[in-house]
């Protein structure tokens, strides 16, 4: 009669199976952790960029026309063409934004940005366009729909000034090897390079290459998700400036050309 013996313990195959299962759980845990960390780091950069844009919008509103200096005198702002500002106009984040209380919260650290806070570059890019007024209609019985001569029933037009438009730009320095991936993750407008403290804007960036992710916005559109009661007064503020600061009727007669400020 054959007697079968059963030994206590586990076989090598069972041990390996348990180790494989444990390794799988560890791998999934690390993968989930790193995915969460990347999302968190990217979100921190987006928050910082929005905060800088919001601060730059405040700086623009304070300096696009005139400011009151330390002597109590009203003088042209730093972005007023009378002050001969350079374009691009570099913004020093610690002194211009933090020092003047436009940026009140500290930037959130993120390993995505090389160089820490110094990896953020802020600047204004200038665009100027002529503004015209139609002074004679081609058909007096029809309405004039364009101020440009030869368009919209306008027979004769006159330049009455120059529209000054400052576009805000924020750029962050990232790992060049990961630049295209970060451009997609961060939702930037383009990739560019730094040249002497100024990052080339997207329109001039060669082949969308570089180690800086760049965003561009108009000065009154700092954050599409932001809401403020003050924003609703902006159209009235612009209308007031157009009516009383920029006298179009005097320009049509004997006035000289002027700058149309704080238009964006």
Q: Select the highest-mean-pLDDT range: 1-5, 60-64, 87-91, 161-165.
A: 87-91
pLDDT at 246: 45
Name which of 9-18, 38-47, 242-251 the model is least confident about: 242-251
Q: At 208, give phi and psi (nearest 5°).
A: 55, 45
Q: Is the per-residue pLDDT at 8 higher than 50?
A: yes
Confidence tier at 227 by pLDDT (50, 70, 90): very low
Q: What is the pTM assigned to this prediction?
A: 0.75
In a domain, 234, yes or no: yes
Query: Does 4 map to a domain?
Result: no
Q: What is the mean pLDDT of the chain?
A: 81
Q: Could you tell me which residue, 24 or 243, shows the higher pLDDT?
A: 24
Helix (H, G, I), strand (E, B) or coil at 112: coil
pLDDT band at 212; cut points 50, 70, 90: very high
Taking only the tens place, the pLDDT of each residue in 191-201 is 999 988 999 99
Beta partners for residue 67, in sequence order: 75
Q: Is residue 7 part of a domain?
A: no
Q: Which of 207, 167, 169 is nearest to 191 (CA)?
A: 207
Q: What is the CA radius of gyration of the chain?
A: 29
| Residue 227 maps to a domain | yes
Q: Is residue 2 part of a domain?
A: no
Q: How far is CA 173 from the centre of its chain?
A: 15
Pick the range with the lowest mean pLDDT from 63-72, 152-161, 207-216, 253-262: 253-262
pLDDT at residue 108 in the model? 94
In tens, the pLDDT along 83-130 reads 999 999 999 999 999 999 999 999 999 999 999 999 999 999 999 888
The better pLDDT of the pair 22, 240 is held by 22
β partners of residue 216: 169
3 state SS of 97: helix
Q: What is the pLDDT at residue 123?
A: 97
Q: Note whether residue 210 is domain-resident.
A: yes
**Domain region containing 86:** 12-260
For 49, 90, 180, the CA distances from 44, given in Å and listed in that order, are 9, 23, 18
- 1 lies in some domain: no
Q: How many independent structural domains does the chain possess?
A: 1
CA distance linking residue 263 with residue 58, whole number of Å = 14
Residue 232: CB atoms within 10 Å: 9
Residue 23 lies in a domain: yes
């Amino acid at each position: 009669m054959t007697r079968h013996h059963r030994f206590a313990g586990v076989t090598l195959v069972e041990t390996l199976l348990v180790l494989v299962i444990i390794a799988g759980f560890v791998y999934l845990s690390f993968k989930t952790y790193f995915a969460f960390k990347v999302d968190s780091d990217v979100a921190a950069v987006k928050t910082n960029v929005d905060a800088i844009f919001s601060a730059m919008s405040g700086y623009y509103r304070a300096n696009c026309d005139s400011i009151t200096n330390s002597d109590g005198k009203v003088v042209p702002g730093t972005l007023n063409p009378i002050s001969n500002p350079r374009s691009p106009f570099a913004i020093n984040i610690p002194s211009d934004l933090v020092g003047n209380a436009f940026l009140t919260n500290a930037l959130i650290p993120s390993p995505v940005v090389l160089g820490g806070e110094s990896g953020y570059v802020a600047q204004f890019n200038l665009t100027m366009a002529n503004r015209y007024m139609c002074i004679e209609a081609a058909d007096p019985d029809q309405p004039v729909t364009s101020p440009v001569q030869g368009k919209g029933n306008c027979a004769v037009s006159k330049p009455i000034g120059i529209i000054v438009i400052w576009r805000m730009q924020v750029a962050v320095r990232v790992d060049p090897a990961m630049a295209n991936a970060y451009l997609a993750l961060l939702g930037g407008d383009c990739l560019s390079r730094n040249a002497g403290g100024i990052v080339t804007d997207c329109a001039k960036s060669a082949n969308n290459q570089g180690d800086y992710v760049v965003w561009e916005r108009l000065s009154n559109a700092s954050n599409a998700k932001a809401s403020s009661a003050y924003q609703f007064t902006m159209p009235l503020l612009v209308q007031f400036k157009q009516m009383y600061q920029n006298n179009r009727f005097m320009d049509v007669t004997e006035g000289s050309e002027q700058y149309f400020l704080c238009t964006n």
